[in-house]
Structures are given as C-alpha cells and as structure tokens.
C-alpha cells in the first residue's frame, strides 16, 4: 500500500511543480498548490507507514505551506484579480478613459489587427515621473521560456481592448521589430 501511495505522491508532486512553474496566472498556480497538497499528504502518509520521520515531518510542514499557497493564489490573489476585472468592466460603462489592470502588462495576450494571438506581454517600462507606459516587452515563440524571443513594442502601437492588448502593427512590421536580449533592454 505504501508503495502505491508513494507513486501517487510522486506523480502529484511532478504535475504540481509543472503547473506552478508554468506561471499561467493566479488561478492555475492555485490549482498547482491544490495538487501539491494532495502530494504532500500522500508523502506524509508514506512517511508514517514506512517509519520515516524525516519524510513525515518535511511533508507535515509542506502540507501547511501548500495550504498557505492555496489561500494566497486561489483566495487573496484571485480576489485582487477579480477587483481589477471589476474596475475594467466598470470603467467601460462610465465616461472618460477606460482602465485595465497593470498586472496585465506582465501576463496578457497580444493580438494582431485580425485578432490572432501573436505573443504575450512579459513586462512594461514606465516613466518614473510621468507614470506613462513607454514600451511593453512581448514574448513570442518557444516553450516555457526556452527559445522565446523578446520584442519591444512602443506603447503608441498598442491599445487595450476587451481581454487583450492589440497592436496596429502588421505581422511583417511586428516581425521586423528588433529582438531584445533577455537581460539588457533599452532605457528610453
């Protein structure tokens, strides 16, 4: 029985690590901690059944940390994300400039003029005094950060619409934007 439980724990731990490391948003990260919780409980049971106190105590602590992770990502962060979405919706129904959550600039989708997904926002550079967005760093290609390309897209070429950033740049214009090194972006 302990062997079956340990294999379940192994699988849950591997899947949870993949889900949380992928950083696909608060909700998905929270579900990763739920899976981690099942894994740590299974490891805790394995430690108890096989007389391994170090495994038992490590996973007792990890169980508490996973509960904290669930609260953090499915509780607190999910409410903060919902607050941003509520403000976005409310701003569309009121006169004046629409609003969107700044957190979108580190995880949002970028679409071309035809509405096709062409990349994801990874970061944005803002003026220290003006607070104005100067450019957004967009990732394209690759898998989980491996072989991806980073491009600087000036804010004047972007707008926020519904659930995504959109660019007026054609596919050819976007592809001609210079790629950025991952650790050395322009200062202006």
Residue extents of the structural domains in the chain: 2-92, 102-180
CATH topology classification for 102-180: SH3 type barrels. (2.30.30)
CB 133 within 8 A of CB 105: yes
| Residues paired with residue 149 on neighbouring β-strands, in sequence order | 140
pLDDT in tens, 132-141: 999 999 989 8
pLDDT in tens, 125-176: 989 988 899 999 998 987 767 788 999 999 999 988 777 889 999 888 999 9
pTM of the shown model: 0.70
Buried b (16+ CB within 10 A) or exposed e, 127-149: eeeeeebbbbbbbbeeeeeeebe
């Amino acid at each position: 029985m302990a062997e079956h439980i340990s294999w379940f724990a192994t699988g849950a731990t591997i899947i949870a690590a993949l889900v949380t490391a992928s950083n696909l948003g608060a909700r998905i990260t929270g579900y990763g901690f739920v899976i981690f919780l099942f894994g740590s409980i299974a490891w805790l049971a394995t430690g108890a059944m096989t007389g391994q106190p170090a495994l038992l105590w490590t996973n007792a602590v990890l169980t508490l940390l996973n509960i904290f992770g669930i609260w953090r990502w499915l509780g607190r962060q999910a409410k903060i994300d919902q607050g941003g979405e509520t403000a976005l919706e409310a701003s569309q129904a009121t006169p004046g400039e629409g609003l969107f959550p700044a957190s979108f600039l580190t995880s949002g989708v970028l679409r071309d003029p035809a509405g096709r997904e062409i990349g994801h926002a990874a970061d944005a550079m803002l003026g220290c005094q003006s607070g104005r967005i100067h450019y957004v760093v967009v990732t394209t290609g690759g898998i989980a950060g491996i072989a991806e390309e980073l491009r600087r897209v000036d804010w004047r070429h972007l707008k926020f619409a519904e659930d995504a950033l959109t660019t007026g740049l054609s596919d050819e214009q976007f592809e001609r934007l210079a790629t950025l090194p991952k650790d050395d972006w322009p200062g202006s």
